Chains A and B, each alone.
Chain A
Amino acid sequence: MRYLASLVILLVSAGWCGAAYIYEHKGLVEYRKTDKDAWERVPAGGRFTITAGMQMRTARASMAEIHMDDGSRVKVAPLSNFTLSAEDKEKSVFGLASGRMRSWVKKFSRRFEVRTPSAVCAVRGTDYTTGVDGEGNTTVEVSEGSVLVGDAAGRTALVREGETTRVEMGGGVQQPVVNPDPPSGDDASLSGARELARREIYTEISKDAVVAQAQAEMQSAEYQNRKTAVDAFGRRVRMEEYTIRPAGNQFKYVALNTRGERFDFGKILFTFNTALPADLSAVTANMITSAGPTAPSVWLTGMNSVMSNTTDKVTEDALNGAMSYNGSLTNPAYNLVFGTYKFYAAGPAEAGDNGGLGKELWAKTNYNVAKNTHGSITYLGGSAPTGGPQSFPSGSDTFHTYVKNTYSDGTWIAAEDFVLFDDGKKLSAGDFGGGLAGGETVDRMTDRLNFERVYISSLFGGRTIDLLYSAKLLKDIGMIRFE
C-alpha cells in the first residue's frame, strides 16, 4: 500500500515536472534555456518538453501548439516570443514578450496566466487570444468564457465572451468593447477575417488599377494621335485620317468624322506626273511651290476632292497641272498651275450632274495655286454671284469666317470655317503670345491645328456638310488659305 502511494506521488510529481510540451509545430520554432544560451531549433517529430524558464520563439510562417497535462493548450502565432515562466501543479504562467498566442484553458483547472510587458490576463476555463505589439501594448480577445485583465498599477477589467480590450504599455486598461474583428477559426496565425478581407480587397483594387492604367495609356495615345477632338460647337468628333495609294503616281487622303449619329467624310485624290517615292513627304512639301531655278521632276497633274455628309457633297476638280516658272531672278521658283479648276455642289437631285460631280458653280482656267490667280472664270448662271464679303462672326481677331454666294439662278452656298484646338477652342490672335509679330505666323500656327468647314446650300435641303480635319495637308495643297 505504501509502495502504491509512493508510486502515485512519484508519477504525479514526474507529470508536473514535464507537464507542458510542444504537441505540434510548423516552420521554424526555436528555444533556449537562458538568455545566455544560443537559440536552438526545436527538433522535428515527437513531443518536445518545455520546462519552466525556457524561452521560445516562432519565425514568420511558423507556429507551435503547446499542450498541458490538465488538457489546456496554447497555440502560438508566427513571430512570437515567449517564456514559460512557471509550470507546476498550482499554475501555468506564460510571459508573452511579443506576438500572439491563443489559449484554451480547462475549467476547474490550475491557475492560468499570460503576462505581457503591460498586462496580466488570468483565467479559469476560457478561450482567449493575447497579442503584444512591438511597443509592448497588449490586446486581449475573448472567444469563450471571461478573462480578468490587469495592468501593472492594479487596474483591472473583466473581458467577457466576444469582447476585446487593450492595455497600453504605460498602463491603463481600456473599457472592454465588442470585438469587431474576432480571431478566425481556432487558428492564431491570422488576426481576423476583417484584416484578411481588407488585404484581399486592396489586392483586388490594385488589379483593377493595373487594367485601368493600361486603358488610360491607350486612350492617351488615341488623343495624341488626334483621333478625337471637340468641334466648334462643343461636340466630340471622332476623326480618322488615312492615306492610301491607288496607283504608283497617286495618293488619296481620306478623313472620316462622326458626331453621335452623324457621319461626314472628305477625300482628296492627288495624281502626279510620275511614280511617287515611298516617303510621300518628299513630294508634298513642294507640291505648290518648288523654290529654285530648276523645274521639279515630280509635280501634281490632277486633284479631285469631295466633302460629303453622305447625302450631299461638294467637289473640287482640277486637271492639267504643270509647274510654271515665276520669272524671278532673285527668288526663282516653280508654281503649280492647273489648266482647269472647277467647283461643284450637289444634293440628291444633282448627284448625277456632270458625270456625277454635281452642279458646277464656277470654273477657273490657268489657276495658279501659289498666287491664287487665274486666267478666266465662269459662274453658274453666267454672272458673278452676289453675297457679302467674308465676315467674322466671332470677332475680327478670331479664326472663324463666314461667306455666302448666291448665283443668278438662285442657287446659293455658304461656307463657315473655323481653326480649332483639339478642345474646340477657336484660334484667335491672343493665342500667338506676343502677337503675330512675335515670330509665330498664322501659317505655322495652323499647321498644328484642326480645320472645320461647314457647308450649307440651297441644294442640301437644310442639311449641312460639316467636316473636321487636320489643316496642314489641305493648306499645303492650296485647298484652304489663311490670308
Chain B
Amino acid sequence: MRKTPILAALIAVCAAAPLAAEMKITPVASFNLLGGKYFLDSDAASFEGRADAYFSPAITLGEGHDLIPVYSGNYSGTQDVQELAGGGVLTRQRQSHSLSLKYIHTRDFDRYKPRVSYSKALVRETKDESWGDGLFNYDTFSFGFEAERERPHGTFTGSYDFFSVTYGNYATLLSNSQSVFKDTDTFNQLSTNAGKNPLDNVGHRLAFSYAWFPEPLAMKASYDVTWRHYGDQAVAANPAVGQSPFRSDKRSDYIQNLSFSASRGLRPVYLSAAARLGWLSSNQGSYDSTRQKYMDDYYSYMDISLTPALTLALRNGSQFRFGLEWRKVFYLGRLAQAVNGAYGGSEIDQTYWLTSISARYPIFNRFYARGAFNYQLSDSNMRYEDNYRYNYKASTYLAGVEWEF
C-alpha cells in the first residue's frame, strides 16, 4: 500500500519531535453538543443530538517548525437541511472520525505544509444496520502539500491534495452473484465491464487562492479543480444487441469551482458576501430500466451560489450570525420527470434558498450556550418526487453548549 511509507515517515517525524530542545506542546480543543429536530415540510423527526469535537496537541519543534496532529470527530442523529430530502431518511445517523498530521515550515512570510490524513465515516440508515455494517460507510486516505506566500500586496496560496475513498461494504451485486446465477449467458452479458467496487474513487485536487486587502475590504479569489476517477465504475451504456449494459471505459469527473468573496469589519459588525460558480463534468450516463430511458451526461451540472452574511461579535464572546445562501443547480443531461414519472424534454434545474441564524452566549469560563436555526426552501422543475423530494421546505433547530480551549 502506498499509504504505509508516508504514514511511517510521519510517525518517525513525530517520534523524533521530542528530541528537539525547543519543543513546546500547545493543546487546542473544541467541543460542541447540540440537540434538536429536523423538519421536512410538516413532518418532524424525533429529537436527536449532534456532537462535534476536535483536539490537537500542536507541537512547536523550533523556530519556524511546527507539527499539528489533529483528531476531529462528529456525530449527527439529525438530518441536515441540505441533505437529500425524503427517501425515508429522516433519522439518518452519521459519525466520522479523522486523524491528520501536518508539518509547517515557516520562513519569514512563506509557509510550506505537507499533510496526511485518514478518516472513517459511518452511516446508519435502517433498522438492520449496525455502525460497522453501513452500506455507505467509507474510509478516506489523503495526503497533500500547501504553500503559502504572504506579501504586502496579498497572500497567495496553492495546494495539491490526493485522496482515496474506499467503500468497504459496497460492492456491485453482480460481483457477488456469479456462483448463484444459473444463467451463464445472462451473467456474462451483465457482468462484462461491470466492476466490483463502483463507489471507490480517487481524486487529485489543485487549488489556488489569492487574498488581498484594499481598505476597508478583505477580498479573496479562489479556483480549484478536481479530477475524480472511479476505477471500478463502468460507464452505463444504452442497451445494444449482444452487449453489456456497461461500456469498457470508467467514470471520471472533473469538478471546477471559481469563487470570489469580500468582507468588511464595522466593529462589532462584520459583513461578508461570496459568489461561486461550479461545474461538474462527468462521462457517466444512466439507463432507467423501468422506463427504458437512456440519459447521457447524467451527473454533470453547473451551479451558481451567492452567500451574504452578517456577524455581530461582542467583546464578551457573544456572537450572532445571520446568513443567506441562494444556489441554483442546472443539470446538463438529467431529464425532468412529470408527476407520473414520464420523462420530459428539459433538464432538471433546482433552486435552493438557505437561511441560517445562529447565536452563542458565554456562560462561564470557556463554555458558551449555542443555538442555531436553518431553513431551506427547494424548488425544481422535477415533479416526480414520491420517493425523493425536489420541492420542499426543510428546517432544523439546534441548541446546546460549546466549549473551546
Contacts and interface: CB of A to CB of B under 8 A. Distances in A.
Given A243-B289, A422-B387, A189 B109 contact: yes
B190 A211 contact: no
Nearest to A200: B68
A226 interface: yes
B376 interface: no
B18 interface: no
Nearest to B280: A217
Contacts of B240: 245, 278
A449 B265 CA distance: 53
Given A196-B66, A197-B68, A201-B70, A245 B239 contact: yes
A61 B267 contact: no
Nearest to A276: B241
Given A193-B60, A243-B287, A263-B177, A423 B87 contact: yes
A70 B190 CA distance: 86
A220 B245 CA distance: 22
B241 A223 contact: no
Interface in B78-98: 83-84, 87-89, 96, 98
Contacts of B388: 223-224, 422
B242 A223 contact: no
A215 B121 contact: yes
A279 B173 contact: no
Contacts of B255: 214
B119 interface: yes
Contact of B152 (A62, A190, A216, A306): A62
Contacts of B203: 211, 214
Contacts of B238: 278
B58 A196 contact: yes
Interface string A214-233: 11101111111110101000
A187 B239 contact: no
A422 B87 CA distance: 6
A208 B98 contact: yes
B63 A186 contact: yes
Nearest to B342: A447
Given A234-B127, A235-B126, A472-B341, A256 B28 contact: no
B88 A218 contact: no
Interface stretch (A116-124, A246-254, A376-384): A246-254
A107 interface: no
A461 to B, nearest CB: 17
A236 interface: yes
B63 A212 contact: no
Contacts of A252: 186
Given A185-B63, A215-B165, A284 B109 contact: no
Contacts of B24: 193
A243 B289 CA distance: 6
Q: How large is the interface on B (under 10, 10 to 19, 20 to 34, 35 or more residues)?
A: 35 or more
Given A197-B68, A234-B126, A247-B242, A185 B152 contact: no
Contacts of A242: 190, 245, 289
B142 A207 contact: yes
Nearest to B340: A444
Given A61-B150, A211-B142, A240 B186 contact: no
Contacts, number: 243
A27 B119 contact: no
A238 B173 contact: yes
A310 B89 CA distance: 31
B26 interface: yes
A308 B165 CA distance: 34
B386 A448 contact: yes
Q: Which of A205, A214, A256, A310 has the most CB of B within 10 A?
A: A214
A125 B28 CA distance: 32
A310 B180 contact: yes
Contacts of A208: 72, 96, 98, 117, 119, 140
Given A204-B70, A204-B102, A193 B291 contact: no
A2 interface: no
Nearest to B59: A193
Q: Which of A28, A134, A198, A284 has the most CB of B within 10 A?
A: A198
Nearest to B133: A260
B102 A473 contact: no
Interface string B241-255: 111110000000001
Contacts of B299: 221
A230 B126 contact: yes
Contacts of B163: 211
A281 B289 contact: no
A260 B130 CA distance: 11
A247 B354 CA distance: 51
B244 to A, nearest CB: 7
A447 B135 CA distance: 27
Given A204-B102, A211-B165, A256 B189 contact: no
Contact of B341 (A244, A280, A448): A448
A425 B72 contact: no
A245 B185 CA distance: 11
B260 interface: no
Nearest to B366: A180
A203 B58 CA distance: 14
Contact of B104 (A78, A196, A258, A267): A196
Contact of A215 (B64, B88, B138, B242): B138
A423 B68 contact: no
Contacts of A186: 63
Interface string B281-297: 00000110111110000
A280 B292 contact: yes
B239 to A, nearest CB: 5
A265 interface: yes
Contacts of A212: 96, 121
Contact of A225 (B62, B83, B180, B286): B286
Contacts of B22: 185
Interface in A95-152: 134-135
Contacts of A279: 292
Nearest to A281: B292
A185 B172 contact: no
B267 A134 contact: yes
Given A61-B155, A243-B239, A263 B292 contact: no
A248 B241 CA distance: 6
Contact of B26 (A193, A224, A265): A193
B56 A256 contact: no
B126 A236 contact: yes
B42 interface: no
Given A244-B244, A422-B87, A236 B239 contact: no
B261 interface: no
A424 interface: yes
A197 B84 contact: no
A193 B174 contact: no
10 contacts: A28-B152, A193-B24, A210-B205, A214-B203, A238-B135, A246-B186, A267-B183, A281-B293, A306-B183, A425-B88
Given A246-B185, A246-B189, A448-B340, 16 more contacts: A26-B109, A61-B152, A196-B68, A207-B142, A211-B163, A214-B226, A214-B228, A214-B255, A244-B239, A256-B177, A259-B128, A267-B186, A284-B292, A310-B181, A423-B88, A423-B387
Lowest 8 CB-CB distances: which A-B pairs, in order? A423-B88, A197-B58, A310-B180, A61-B150, A59-B152, A280-B292, A470-B290, A185-B63
